[in-house]
Amino acid sequence: MLANRYRFYFSRDFPSAFISHLDMTRLFERLFRRLDIKLKFTQGFNPHPKIVFILPMPVGLCSEEEIFEVECEQELGEDIIENFNRILPEGLKVLKVELATDKIQVRDMYYQCFVEAKEEFCKYFDEFMKKSPTIKKEKEGKVTVKKIFDFLLSYECEKVDGDIKISFHINVVNGSYIKPEDILREFSQEYNIECRIVRVERVKVNYKRVI
């Protein structure tokens, strides 16, 4: 049987923003099962449904619009959005569902981070950013260093109602990108400034369609 690949657009906010990427996949698998929708599964000992998030979401990330694609062994009815939104936990909402005939890739994305920090946060942050900083990450003994401005197109730091709001415009280069949380962590370590993240939001993602 020909499998149908569907593209689900959804938003995520508190409290569901604290679900990990793996748990998101499991959650949607369960919801599909509850709605009695047959998904296409991988073969082998441990079959998995073919649900792919275009951009994996780190724990804590809120987003206006995200996408996952899923292969179904049946056609979805028009009531699918309504049915999903009836049973989704608070914070998750399906916005749009379409049949995926093409492939999409991420081009660039906009973030907003809200942090609790001292008054002069922005001053020091600007100073830090002027030094063409890098992000060092250690994974299984291997250290990778990324230059922030290889990925960062622009940023802005401002004070909004007691909190600091930092906006980032991040480019995806060869499928790789940097996370705003990592920039903030790098900064707070180097400057020894305590900054408590209270919200990270992906405001917009631009995609390019490929055939």
Partner 1 sequence: MVVKDKVFKLLYDVEKPGRYIGNEINMVKKDPEKVDVRFAFCFPDIYEIGMSNLGLKILYHLLNEREDVYCERAFMPWVDMQQKMQKEGIKLFSLETFTELYQFDIIGFSLSYEMSYTNVLKMLELSNLPLESQKRGKGMPIVIAGGPCTYNPEPLWEFVDVFVIGEGEEVILEIIDLYKKYKFSCMTKEEFLYECAGIEGCYVPLLYNVEYNPNGTIKSISPVSENVPPKVRKRIVKDLDTSYFPTKMITPLIEVVHDRITLEIFRGCARGCRFCQAGVIYRPVRFRSSKKVLQYAKELVENCGCNEISLVSLSTSDYPNIDELAREILKFAENKKINISLPSLRLDSTSLDLLKEVEKIRKPTLTFAPEAGTQRLRDVINKNIKEEDIYSTVRLAFERGFQNIKLYFMLGLPLEEDEDVLGIYTIAKNIREIYKELKFKKRIRITVSTSFFVPKPHTPFQWEAQDSIENMQRKMQLLKENLKKVKDVEYSWHDFYLSKLEAVLSRGDRRLSRVIKKAVELGCQFDEWGEFFDFSKWENAFKQENVDWRFYSDRKRSFDEILPWDIIDTGVTKEFLKKECLLAYEAKTTSSCFEKCTGCGVASFRGGICVGK
Applying CB under 8 A, which of residues 52, 56, 59, 136 lies at the interface with partner 1? 59
Rounded least distance, CB 94 to partner 1, Å:
15
Antiparallel, parallel or unpaired: β 61-72 and 196-210: parallel
45 binds partner 1 (CB under 8 A): yes
Taking CA atoms, 207 is separated from 6, 64, 103, 170, 173, in Å, by 17, 14, 10, 13, 13
In contact, 84 and 76? CB cutoff 8 Å: no
200 binds partner 1 (CB under 8 A): yes
In contact, 10 and 94? CB cutoff 8 Å: yes
Return phi, psi of residue 86, to 5°: -70, -35
Lay out the site mask for partner 1 across 90-109 (x = CB under 8 A, - = otherwise): xx------------------
22 binds partner 1 (CB under 8 A): yes
Rounded least distance, CB 37 to partner 1, Å:
10
* Residue among 15 and 56 whose Cβ is closer to partner 1: 15
Using CA atoms of 40, 7, 111, 164 in order, give the dihedral in degrees to the nearest 10.
-80
Determine the 3-state secondary structure of 206 from DSSP. strand
| Per rule CB under 8 A, count of chain residues that contact partner 1 | 34
Classify burial at 42, counting beta carbons within 10 Å of its beta carbon; exposed 0-12, middle 13-18, buried 19 or more.
exposed
Lay out the site mask for partner 1 across 137-176 (x = CB under 8 A, - = otherwise): ----------------------------------------
Stretch of residues binding partner 1 (CB under 8 A), selected from 4-12, 36-44, 78-86, 138-146: 36-44
Longest CA pairwise span in the chain (Å): 61
* Residue among 109 and 200 whose Cβ is closer to partner 1: 200
Show the tokens assigned to 38: 């047959």
Applying CB under 8 A, which of residues 104, 106, 122, 197 lies at the interface with partner 1? 197
List residues binding partner 1 (CB under 8 A).
14-16, 18-20, 22-23, 26-27, 29-34, 38-39, 41, 45-47, 49, 59-60, 87, 89-91, 116, 196-198, 200
